[in-house]
Amino acid sequence: MKHITPIILFVLIFCSNKEKVTEVIDGDTFKTEQGKTVRLLGINAPELDEPGGDIAKEFLKTLILDKKVQLKKDVTEKDDYGRYLCYVYLDGKFINEEMLRTGLAETKFYPPDTLYKKVMQEVEKIAIRNKKGLWSFPVFQIPDTTGIFIKEKPSKTIAQEVISYLDANKYIGKVKTVEGTVVLTNNTGKVCFLNFHKDWKRHFTAVIFASDFDKFPKNPEDYYLNRKIRVTGLIKEYKGKPEIIVKSPSQIEIIK
């Protein structure tokens, strides 16, 4: 028997790892006939109860439902919910990237699973610039110019319009500057929550994901705690309460 090189062995294993998709749960999650629940790595689509969630799901269905796809993992095999974390391919098409290219998902990476981070961020950048898919509507928080992305600066009118965190629920789907004092924080390692009220389940929260931690001061949960701040961004509703996803420290102004 001829010797098989590691590269050839990898290709053989990878190409044989095909599973049929039997159900699409939402725009970034599906099930296979082997009983696996698979989460697309490096992307985040809107939840089904959020604007655009149904569109993202239907598009993913047209791509992969009832078809055999190839699954490739990064470093982590499963997430905390038991879902397999995978890069997904179908007939040479990179499905994770396709969701970004069409503007139906945004990038979201958690170390150490960052193999295709730069490539996928470039695809997202083009979708944002061309206002593809959900980028045409206030669904995703547009990344800041401090990163690799191009963003139009908000007008002075928007920048000067400051609202209290207690009124944030009135402006879901709008870009606003929310003011308040961070009274409670929590960093799970994957996400940092800056809460403006001790009853955090009902009131406004600023959210920083681990994929953006390197842009912020070390231990943001301590840095912003007990400080009065203004947070500018797209106000979204999550589990019945308003929040802004903060992708750059330039979105946060500390009021001295």
**Which of the residues are catalytic?**
39, 47, 83
144 phi and psi angles, rounded to 5 deg:
-85, 160
Is 48 within 8 Å of 54 (Cβ atoms)? Answer: yes
Is 39 within 8 Å of 83 (Cβ atoms)? Answer: yes
Q: How far is CA 95 from CA 42, 60, 83, 236, in A?
A: 11, 8, 17, 26
Sign of CA dihedral 215, 216, 217, 219: negative
Length of the chain measured in residues: 256
Is 108 within 8 Å of 79 (Cβ atoms)? Answer: no
